[in-house]
Amino acid sequence: MASAEPPLPPPPGGPVYVYVPQQTDGQATAALVVGILSLFGVMCYGVPALILGPIAIFLGLNARSRIRASGGTVGGSGFATAGWITGAVGLALGAALLLFVIVFYGFFFWLIATHPFPSPTPSG
């Protein structure tokens, strides 16, 4: 007669660890997007960069303070930092380019106003 062995018990269970990804702060993402757009805004005589740069700086600094206050439940500090830095760079480049354009065209128009072109006179 064959002896029936009892089934093996399941292995002892340990604690189950579930990885929950940290949620990124929405303002941090917005700061990064607006900061990158401010860099592209430099190409339009710097005017969009002058508008988008301060917005990115505000969003980035505000998001960083919210992330610090969350106690580690909300992430995105790198996005927030990159956002306000790209906003500051876009603002600085936009202001420098706009100032250059104003000075260049101002000098050009001053030169035309003070040194008129001689009109051609008929020879003959």
DSSP letters spanning 12-48: PP-PPP---PPEEPHHHHHHHHHHHHHHHHTTTTTHH
Residue 49 lies in a domain: yes
Residue 123 has pLDDT above 90, yes or no: no
Q: Residue 89: give the domain boundaries.
A: 23-112
Residue 122 lies in a domain: no
Which residues, in sequence order, are bridge partners of residue 23? 74
Band of the pLDDT at 98, cuts 50, 70, 90?
A: very high
Residue 3 lies in a domain: no
Residue 92 lies in a domain: yes
Identify the residue with better confidence: 18 or 103: 103
Residue 34 lies in a domain: yes
Amino acid 82 reads A
Residue 73 lies in a domain: yes
pTM exceeds 0.85, yes or no: no
- Which residues, including other chains, have CB under 8 Å from residue 72's CB and lie 6 or more apart? 22
Residue 123 lies in a domain: no
Band of the pLDDT at 93, cuts 50, 70, 90?
A: very high
Residue 28 lies in a domain: yes
Domain count, the chain: 1
Residue 12 has pLDDT above 80, yes or no: no
- Cα distance between residue 115 and residue 42, in whole Å: 33
Identify the residue with better confidence: 70 or 34: 34
The arithmetic mean of pLDDT across residues 94-121, rounded, is 89
